[in-house]
Amino acid sequence: MPLVTSTEMFKKAYDGGYAIGAFNVNNMEIVQGITEACREEHAPVILQVSKGARAYANHTYLVKLVEAAVAECPEIPVVLHLDHGPDFETCKSCIDGGFTSVMIDASSKPFAENIEITRKVVEYAHDHGVVVEAELGTLAGVEDEVKVSAEDSSYTHPEEVEEFVSKTGCDSLAIAIGTSHGAYKFTAAQCTRNEKGILVPPPLRFDVLEEVSKRLPGFPIVLHGSSSVPQNYVKMINEHGGKMPDAVGIPEEQLRKAATLSVCKINIDSDLRLAMTGTIRQFFDEHPDKFDPREYLKPARANIKELVRHKLVDVLGCAGKA
Ligand code: G3H
Ligand code: 13P
Ligand code: ZN
């Protein structure tokens, strides 16, 4: 089937108590690892492209890679989504250039300005059959070179969501309930340590999510910054020349719970980067004589695929829903 919008996907996910995985893509091996897992698990998927990905790989290359995946996996629905669109022009370029979904992220702007920018994107997108994700509240972490400190982040104010959604006409809403971008989501000071000495982050604010859902019945909610920072890959990186102390993510049980509520889209990027980097570091350490990129990218792609499979089956609950 051709690329689809997320409208149908989100409706089924909301009613079925699961979430769709939104995975960032930057090159062929990442696209292949994700979509092979989704095809084998019969899972719908959102492939998302950031401003940084477009700058790295070029818009056309990424669209063509995604089109190739669609041709290889005709039985699963695939959305091509712009992640963290910074302005109207970038959203327009993606809408004109074959994307079926865009995010306008004006969450750092004052409320009225966020509404104004989002509404302009929605008007253009809807005229072209494309859906729009918007954001209210600010996540900590780094996204597209913008670093937001934990002090400057803020949870979404539930009392703002009805006005925001009705005035903008957006199709889904990303909210801030304590997730955060990147592999260093929390400082050691924000966490406690469990009996194994592993950092345990503060729990997500399910009270905020529940209040938002009550005010927007049936409306799809999105969680960004939802990597869980698998400790096996952090360990693999650290054992093979890397240095990632105290990298910690969102516990998977909390994401599973969010997926059963109104959260229909869960964004995962850093976990795939960790799998790729750990695998390649280990390969180089064990095979210092090898230099063929296909030899080290092959196990990296295989590990991305297995990690995505785990997310589909054990975290998102979307396996078998294509
Ligand atoms: O939220 C940001 C995504 O992880 C994309 O990251 O801007 O480095 O491509 P990026
Ligand atoms: P992570 O850094 O937690 O993978 O978040 C990715 C994300 O939100 C992309 O928009
Ligand atoms: Zn994000």
3-state secondary structure 182-206: CCECCCHHHCEECCCCCEECCCCCH
Global pTM value:
0.96
Task: Kindly give the residue spans of alpha helices, DSSP state H, lying in the chain.
Answer: 7-16, 28-41, 51-57, 59-72, 88-96, 111-127, 161-168, 206-215, 231-239, 252-260, 270-286, 293-310
Any atom of ligand 1 within 6 Å of the Cβ of 269 = yes
Distance in Å, CA 228 to ligand 2 centroid: 10
Q: Identify which ligand lies nearest to the alpha carbon of 55.
A: 1
Q: What is the best residue among 79, 83, 227, 248 to mutate for testing ligand 2's pocket, by most ligand atoms within 8 Å of CB?
A: 227
Question: What CATH code would you report for 7-316?
Answer: 3.20.20.70
CA proximity to 268, closest of 1, 108, 33: 33
CB-proximal residues (5 Å) to ion ligand 3: 224
Lookup result for tokens 């399910």: 206
Q: What is the pLDDT along the chain (322 residues), one digit of tens a residue?
A: 899 999 999 999 999 999 999 999 999 999 999 999 999 999 999 999 999 999 999 999 999 999 999 999 999 999 999 999 999 999 999 999 999 999 999 999 999 999 999 999 999 999 999 999 999 998 876 555 556 665 556 899 999 999 999 999 999 999 999 999 999 998 888 888 888 887 889 999 999 999 999 999 999 999 999 999 999 999 999 999 999 988 899 999 999 999 999 999 999 999 999 999 999 999 999 999 999 999 999 999 999 999 999 999 999 999 999 9
Q: Is 87 an annotated catalytic residue?
A: no
